[in-house]
Structure 1
Amino acid sequence: MSPILRRTTSSILLVLACVVAVVAVLGAWADRQLLDTDQWVDTSSRLLEESAVQDATAAYLSDQLVQGPAIRAKLEAGLPPRLQPLAAPLAAGAGEIAERTARRLIASGAFQKLWRETNRRAHRQFIAIVEGDTRLANAGVVVDLRPQLGVLAQRLGVVPDATGDHGTVHVLRGDNLKTIRKVVHALETLRWVSVVVLLVLLVGGVALAPNRAHGIVGAGLALLIAGLLLLVVRRAGGHYVVDKLVANGSDEGAATATWSITTSLLRDIAGALVVLGVVDVLAGWLASGSSWARKVRRFSTPALTEHGGLVFGGVLVLLLVLLAAGLLPAAGQLWAIVLYVLLAGLGVWALRRQVEREAIADA
């Protein structure tokens, strides 16, 4: 294969790798956000820490309590017969008191624990339905806030309506579930297939490059650009989604907080991809034929040739710092850690071989 054809093929593979990297990160984010129960519970708990979300939740709980017959019955029982017609307007006015009480309740540890249990239960329903549980399919996914509503009613000295549907939110049911199943199964396939394809494209792009160092730089640029594109898409998508939600009557603060928190994992993965891309670019530059790279290699020749083990140890420490800080993709996965260690070892070995050859050539 001619150098021009190899260069062209390598460039095409690396451009495709950039596109596939974007798809792979989006698939990994959606997969973890939708299918990981612990991630779902942590995200919902972080949402409740936002004041705008607390206000929206307090308003919902107070509305559900006031709309039920509990407060009105309490007022009717305490009013004289002639004043009982005032029970309805007084119950409506009690909504402000209930909302203030709900805000204080939401800040308590007991409510936070109930909130986590509620979201964990709802997500397990979702997973069971996705996996084909026909018993839950008819009811769909239900976020049951009746325990929280019961605590609020107890704080106000009333008994909540146990027979109505107040405090239950139906998230998914009916025909939507079939679509969700298809989406989830597609995500599960996409997550692993896209990662494998990405690795093949990166390896192929580097292997076919006429200059191996330039191929490594190209692979790093592909990852770097993919990470930056994802960060831009997240920011632009946030403005679009929040504007749509606000136009449909949602609170802007709650909508902004929800988008920011639910996509924080996407931001972290994209940022890690940027860091990995920068590391690859630096590694490729260090192995290149530029004058500055040659000077760096000459300076490091004694350390690499005489103390290669110490150099690898230093690189390994730096790698562990990046992994501990979560600055590399899949930093918590064992397979990724092993892969990074192997690549670091291979890089130090290749650099040592290169400086040895250059030392012999200069002698």
Structure 2
Amino acid sequence: MRRALPVLATFLLVIAALGAWAERQLLDADQFTKAGVQLLQQPAIQNTTAAYLSDQLTQGDTVSNELRAALPPRLAPLAGPLTAGAGELADRATKRIMRSGAFQSLWEKSVRLLHNQLVAVIEHGDGPLAKRGVTLDLRPQLGVLAQRLGVRGAATGHKATVKILDGHQIATARKAVNLLKAVRWISAALSVVALVAIVAVWPDRARGLLVAGLTLIVAALIVLVVRRVAGRELVTEVTQNGTAAPAATATWNVLTSLLREIAGTGIVLGALCAIGGWLAGGTAWAASVRRFVAPVVVVHPEIPYIVVLGAIVALLAAGLLPASTRPLGIVLYLVLAGAGVWALRRQIARETEARAAPPPTPATPKAVT
């Protein structure tokens, strides 16, 4: 039973990490918008978006009619070839405009509106919006591009509205998100119980803490492997390794960057637990380290607290610990770190006293009469 606890905890931690990523990525407005803004900064996404907008701008008869009206009658036959060249001009202009602050601001607003639609259809069920579907509206961006190029009337109608979800896809997404919400919290609670149980049932508590830390690290590494393998398979399935593969890969990398951060947090927490368990363990190296730091720890007990406090603050500042911006999370980390230092210092003090105590005097044998 004891040997099965790390396996169970690893499974629960992986499920909790995937659930936390999916819920935060989909339902957190700031996280969703942040990912959308990061997408626009990817060269592959920029190229795909520019090609799409330029096609939306130049398709149809609008550009051709305006060129024909602007040309002298004898040059009117050139309207067709000039329209074909307008697509390349629009593509270059779009890439240039996409770097402007105005375009990026419009993009951020479009992504936030997309998230509002997504949350509405997931949390509030059926309705007019669910029937219309969830769409990404790029008409404001198309209007800016048309204005810059002097093309009137090209950004009207339903151009530049990209359907993201519709019909049965919305129902499937709603069920999946509700399941992930429940799975996330249940698996997170059970994984904490399993980690505590590892430390509690292990004959050597220090070894149990080491095993719990290694379990966290293994679970985080599995999450990273799942991210890489799933991304490769998904991109291959969707694009068949065609011209859209770079854009799909960039999209997956951005949308799962939060999952990578969660795995990194697991590695950091696991390493801290493993180091603490190793320092308190009975190996010869750990005992040597404790003897080496004993003079400082015993004489100046404030120094280990200051060192550990500095390490925790550095990890919180770097965002490598979960809930690093919440006061309750910060207080919890400080309390746990302080308790760990206190327990380790007590152990070092006991060992120091034992080494300093005089050896017991051997009993004098009684004379035989």
Q: For residue 300 of structure 1, report the CA deviation from its aligned partner.
A: 2.6
Aligned to 2:247: 254
Question: 184-193 or 106-115: which moved more?
Answer: 184-193
Q: Does 1:322 align with 2:330?
A: no
The TM-score with structure 1 as length reference comes to: 0.91
- In the alignment of these two chains, the number of paired residues is 355
**Superposition TM-score, scaled by structure 2 size:** 0.90
CA drift at 1:58: 0.6
The one-letter amino acid of 1:328's match is L
Percent identity at matched positions? Answer: 52
- 1:203 Cα deviation (Å)? 0.3
The one-letter code sitting in structure 2 at the alignment partner of 1:296 is V
Contact 2:114 2:135 in 1 (8 A): yes
Q: Distance in 2 between matches of 1:149 and 1:19?
A: 47
Preserved contact between residue 217 and residue 284 of structure 1 (Cα < 8 Å): yes
Task: Name the residue aligned to 2:203.
Answer: 210
Superposed CA deviations along residues 234-291 of structure 1, whole A, max 9, x for unmatched, are: 2223322333333174523222222222222111211221122121111111111111
Describe the SS at the equivalent of 1:10.
Answer: coil
Residue 105 of structure 2 corresponds to residue 113 of structure 1 = yes
1:1-363 paired onto structure 2 within 5 Å: 9-79=1-71, 87-88=79-80, 90-132=82-124, 134-161=127-154, 163-247=156-240, 249-362=242-355, 363=357
Distance 2:164 2:181 in 1: 22
CA distance in 2, matches of 1:296, 1:163: 73
Structure 1 contact 65–160 (Cα < 8 Å) conserved? no
Which residue does the alignment assign to 1:4?
Answer: none
Asked whether the equivalents of residues 76 and 87 of structure 1 are also in contact (C-alpha less than 8 Å), the reply is: yes
Contact kept in structure 2, 1:216 and 1:283, CA below 8 Å = yes
Superposed CA RMSD: 2.0
Counterpart residue type for residue 20 of structure 1: L
Cα distance in 1 for partners of 2:298, 2:164 equals 63
- 2:129 maps to a residue whose letter is L
Counterpart CA distance in 2 for 1:336 and 1:199 is: 15
**Structure 1 contact 13–201 (Cα < 8 Å) conserved:** yes
One-letter amino acid of the structure 2 residue matched with residue 238 of structure 1 = G
Deviation track 1:4-50 (CA, whole Å, cap 9, x = no partner) reads xxxxx332112211111111111111111111111111111111112
CA distance in structure 2 between the partners assigned to 1:108 and 1:201 by the alignment: 51
Q: Does the 8 A contact of 1:14 with 1:219 survive in 2?
A: yes
Residues 83-109 of structure 1: CA deviation (Å, up to 9, x unaligned): 656645543332111111111111111
Determine if contact 1:68/1:160 at 8 Å carries over to the other structure: no
| Cα displacement (A) at 1:350 | 1.1
SS of equivalent to 1:142: strand
Cα distance 1:259–1:243, how it changes in 2: closer, same or farther (>3 A)?
same
Q: 1:249 to 1:82 in 2, by over 3 A?
A: farther
The 1:148/1:163 distance shift into structure 2, 3 A limit, reads: closer
Contact 2:135–2:162 (8 Å) recurs in 1? yes
Is the 1:146–1:168 Cα contact (8 Å) retained in structure 2? yes
Of 302-311 and 335-344, deviating more is: 302-311
Quote the offset at 1:325 in angstroms.
1.1
What is the rounded CA distance, in whole Å, between the counterparts of 1:152 and 1:298 in structure 2? Answer: 70
Gaps of 5+ in 1: 1-8
**Is the CA contact 1:68–1:166 (under 8 Å) kept in the aligned structure 2?**
no
Contact 2:207 2:277 (8 Å CA) reproduced: yes
1:232–1:248 distance in 2 versus 1, CA, 3 Å? closer
